[in-house]
């Protein structure tokens, strides 16, 4: 028998917990949308960083992605093998020049469309009103004026 003392308390109102919960749902949606393109959110992030900063170093990619340099090397090797990027490393230990290929640019464009579809589903007019407000606030925060 359940008593009043056994009932869960009110929902969590911590912004950290709310955003973390929402982020996990968004990541799952994005990974599902990117799967047909043979991409993950992490792989898309690396590809986007490489496209946005031609000649970026492994160290910079690691810092921007929040992963180790060793993990970046492994990921970039996979992107090179897939024909999505070129790594013009002269020799081991020297600076690299990593750049996106035409095939990688086409895949990145297809991925942007998949992301836009997830954005529409998660934050567009038909989405939950709270999620719409969160999406509007996020866009406003990065639009330059900072007002939601």
Pairing of strands 98-100, 85-87: antiparallel
Cβ atoms of 89 and 96 within 8 Å: the answer is: yes
Share of the chain above pLDDT 90, in %: 67
Question: What are the structure tokens assigned to 15, written together?
Answer: 């912004």
Between residues 95 and 50, which one has the greater pLDDT? 50
Could you count the other beta carbons within 10 Å of the beta carbon of residue 127? 16
pTM comes to 0.79
Where does 8-117 show beta strands of DSSP type E? 85-87, 98-100
Query: Which domains does the chain carry?
Result: 14-133 (1.10.10.10)
Task: With a cut of 60, say whether residue 90 has pLDDT above it.
Answer: no
Long-range Cβ contact pairs of 111-117 (< 8 A, separation 24 or more):
111/34, 111/37, 111/39, 111/44, 111/47, 114/30, 114/33, 114/34, 114/37, 115/30, 115/33, 115/34, 115/44, 117/33
Task: With a cut of 80, say whether residue 63 has pLDDT above it.
Answer: yes
Q: Which pLDDT score, from 0 to 100, does residue 148 have?
A: 47
Q: What is the pLDDT averaged over residues 92-96?
A: 64
């Amino acid at each position: 028998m359940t008593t009043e003392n056994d009932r869960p308390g009110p929902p969590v109102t911590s912004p950290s917990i709310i955003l973390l919960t929402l982020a996990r749902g968004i990541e799952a949606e994005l990974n599902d949308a990117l799967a047909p393109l043979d991409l993950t959110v992490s792989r898309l992030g690396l590809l986007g960083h490489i496209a946005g900063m031609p000649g970026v170093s492994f160290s910079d990619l690691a810092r921007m992605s929040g992963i180790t340099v060793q993990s970046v090397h492994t990921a970039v090797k996979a992107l090179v093998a897939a024909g999505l990027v070129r790594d013009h490393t002269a020799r081991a230990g020297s600076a690299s020049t990593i750049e996106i290929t035409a095939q990688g640019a086409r895949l990145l464009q297809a991925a942007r469309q998949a992301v836009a579809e997830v954005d529409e589903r998660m934050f567009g007019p038909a989405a939950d009103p709270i999620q719409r407000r969160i999406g509007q606030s996020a866009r406003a925060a990065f639009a330059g004026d900072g007002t939601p």
